Chain A
Amino acid sequence: MTTAAASRSLSSTVVSARARRGWGDRLFRGLARGAALSLILLVTAMIIGMAGAAMPSFRAFGWRFLYTSTWDPVAETFGALPFVYGTLVSSLLALVIAVPLGLGAAIFLAELAPVWIRPPITFLVELVAAVPSVVFGLWGIFVLAPWLRNWVQPALGASLGFLPLFQGPPYGVGMLAAGIILAIMIVPFITAVSREVLLAVPNTQREAALGLGATRWETTRIAVLRYGKSGLIGAVLLGLGRALGETMAVTMVIGNRPEVAISLFAPGYTMASVIANEFTEATSDLYLGALIEIGLLLFAVTVIVNALARLLVWSVGGAVKQVRE
Chain B
Amino acid sequence: MSALTAGSALAVVLPLILLFGFLLHQGASAVNVDFFTRLPKPVGEAGGGMANAIVGSLILIALAGALGLPLGILGGVYLTESRDRRLPWLIRFVADVLNGVPSIVIGIFAYTVVVLPMRRFSALAGGVALAVIMLPIVLRTTEEMMRLVPASLREAALALGLPEWKVILRVVLPTARAGIITGVMVAIARVAGETAPLLFTAFGNRFWHQRLDQPIAALPLQIFAYAIAPFDDWHRQAWAGALVLIALVFLVSLAARIATRGRYSAVR
Contacts and interface: CB of A to CB of B under 8 A. Distances in A.
A25 B268 CA distance: 33
Interface in B191-239: 192-196, 199-200, 203, 220, 223-224, 227-228, 235, 238-239
A120 B96 CA distance: 29
B13 A125 contact: yes
Interface in B1-59: 1-2, 4-9, 11-13, 15-16, 18-19, 22-23, 26
Contact of A132 (B168, B169, B246): B246
Most buried by B among A42, A109, A121, A134: A134
Given A102-B12, A124-B16, A138 B242 contact: yes
A241 interface: yes
Q: State the majority secondary structure of interface residues on B.
A: helix
A35 B70 contact: yes
Interface stretch (A76-84, A158-166, A295-303): A295-303
Most buried by A among B7, B12, B104, B203: B12
A20 B205 CA distance: 56
B47 to A, nearest CB: 20
B241 to A, nearest CB: 9
B7 A50 contact: no
Given A29-B165, A42-B132, A132 B228 contact: no
A32 B12 contact: no
B249 A303 contact: no
A241 to B, nearest CB: 5
A88 interface: no
A141 B78 contact: no
A280 B112 CA distance: 13
Contact of A139 (B19, B103, B111, B144): B19
A108 B2 contact: yes
Given A124-B13, A141-B227, A245-B101, A136 B19 contact: yes
A62 interface: no
A107 B5 contact: yes
A196 B11 CA distance: 19
Contact of B82 (A24, A25, A29, A295): A29
Interface string A180-221: 000010011001000010010000000000000000110000
Give the interface size bracket for B toward A.
35 or more
A25 B19 contact: no
A306 interface: yes
Contact of A49 (B2, B104, B113, B192): B113
A134 B242 contact: yes
A40 interface: yes
Given A217-B1, A247-B196, A131 B113 contact: no
Interface string B63-76: 00000001100110
A28 B165 contact: yes
A113 interface: yes
B96 A125 contact: no
Interface in B104-131: 104-106, 108-109, 111-113, 116
B153 interface: no
Q: State the majority secondary structure of interface residues on A.
A: helix
A299 B105 contact: yes
Contact of A39 (B75, B84, B245, B257): B75
Contact of B15 (A42, A43, A128, A199): A128
B112 A49 contact: yes
A252 to B, nearest CB: 7
B159 interface: no
A252 B228 contact: yes
B108 A50 contact: yes
Interface string B157-182: 00000011110110000000000000
Contacts of A244: 102
Nearest to B144: A322
Contact of B87 (A21, A36, A121): A36
Given A143-B18, A245-B104, A302-B100, A32 B78 contact: yes
Contacts of B106: 46
Nearest to A35: B74
Enumerate the 6 nearest inter-chain pairs by beta-carbon distance, A residue then B residue, closest first: A245-B102, A132-B193, A104-B8, A306-B100, A35-B74, A108-B5
6 contacts: A33-B84, A45-B113, A113-B6, A128-B13, A132-B246, A252-B224
Given A128-B15, A279-B200, 14 more contacts: A32-B82, A46-B106, A113-B2, A126-B257, A130-B249, A132-B220, A135-B245, A138-B223, A143-B18, A199-B268, A275-B108, A302-B101, A306-B96, A307-B96
